[in-house]
Amino acid sequence: MRRWLLLVALIPAALALWRMGGDANGSGAFLGYVEGELLYIGPVEGERLARLDVEAGKAVAAGDPLFAMATPVLDRQRAEAAARLGQMQAQLENLRASMNRPQQIAVLQAALDRARVALAFSAAEYERKRILYSHGNAPRSALDQAVMAQGRDKAALAEAERQIEVARMPSRNQEIVAAEAAIVAAGAQIEQIDTRIARQRVAAPAAGVVQDIFFRAGEMVAAGQPALSLLPPENRKARFYVPQARLVEARLGARVAVACDGCEKGLWGRISFIAQREEYTPPVIFSDQERAKLVFKVEARLEEKARELPLGLPVQIRFSHLGLSAEGAAP
């Protein structure tokens, strides 16, 4: 019975604390803690972690190396692409070297003229042997030799004419154009592989402090899986909860004072987020007394030296009543 009486006596005291707006010790401050929006950084392609250049707690600048992945498959692909490019270049040089120039066509023209002269001589020789054979003054074998010589010279003349035609055909130029295009494509493929290899050497996208290391050298990391987390100083914020009775005092961009045990004075931030829904709401119909229990999450981006506060540190937040805008000077 005494226990029930004690609980009944404590209920008004608890309601009184809620009506104080969740203030820390009734001082007008709100209790909160420091949070950070971490950047989780991982490789673009899955592979074995070859080298880790940082440790947890190390401050890095934008562009500093963080880690590098092994690239055995990409290295072999690049070697294959480079060999293929060399082969294509050799084929192009061969096509260019074998392409008939005017001087080469002149040589072929001279061979054509020689074939014509030879055919004219063999035709005249055949005619003489035919007349002699018809009068019985030459053997049959001499006539047969004249026939074969004439046929040979006809074939040589036809070959020389075809060589001239082939030399003047534009197909060789088209082969050279195709070979040049293939070389450009092979070069682009090598550049693509080089880009993939370079992306496996990951650098810091922004200045910050390395928070956690999730993998060590020699371990496999999947594509997109974070190998470490990085916290830029501008990503530190204070999270606190404001009762609905004092929510009207919070506005986006407004300055708030930040204090903590043992911290220097003058720390501050700006409100960057105000929740649109209440939290920790009891499942009852609200009355004037019960609605004092409604709280709303508010976040403030820490500025200047407040960005050095460690994550998870409890802080006290006070609204500024100086009417300063988001661009105003420090109170």
Residue 195 token pair: 């880009």
Q: Using N-to-C axis directions, what is the helix angle for 140-167 and 102-134, rounded to 10°?
A: 160
d(CA 258, CA 281): 26
Which pTM value belongs to this model? 0.60
Edge-to-edge order in the sheet of strand 228-231: 39-41, 228-231, 208-213, 59-60
236 contacts 306 by C-beta, under 8 angstroms: yes
Give whole-number Cα distances, 237 to 22, 63, 76, 246, in Å: 20, 24, 46, 20
**Helical residues (DSSP H) of 42-170, grouped into ranges:** 72-98, 102-134, 140-167
pLDDT at 98: 61
Q: How far apart are CA 220 and CA 222, in angstroms?
A: 7
Which pLDDT tens digits describe the chain residue by residue (331 residues)?
Answer: 433 333 334 344 333 333 434 455 455 788 899 999 999 999 999 999 999 999 999 999 999 999 999 999 999 999 999 999 999 998 888 777 666 566 677 778 888 888 888 889 888 888 888 888 888 888 888 878 888 888 888 888 888 888 877 776 655 677 888 888 999 999 999 999 999 999 999 999 999 999 999 999 999 999 989 999 999 999 999 999 888 888 888 889 899 999 988 888 889 999 999 988 876 544 444 444 555 567 888 999 999 888 889 888 999 999 875 444 434 434 3
Alpha-carbon gap, residue 52 to 231, rounded angstroms: 17
Please tell me the distance from the alpha carbon of residue 298 to that of residue 38, in angstroms, as a whole number: 19
- Strands 59-60 and 65-69 turn out to be unpaired
Token reading at 117: 């002269």
E strands present in the chain: 30-36, 39-41, 47-52, 59-60, 65-69, 201-203, 208-213, 220-221, 228-231, 236-243, 255-259, 267-274, 295-303, 314-319
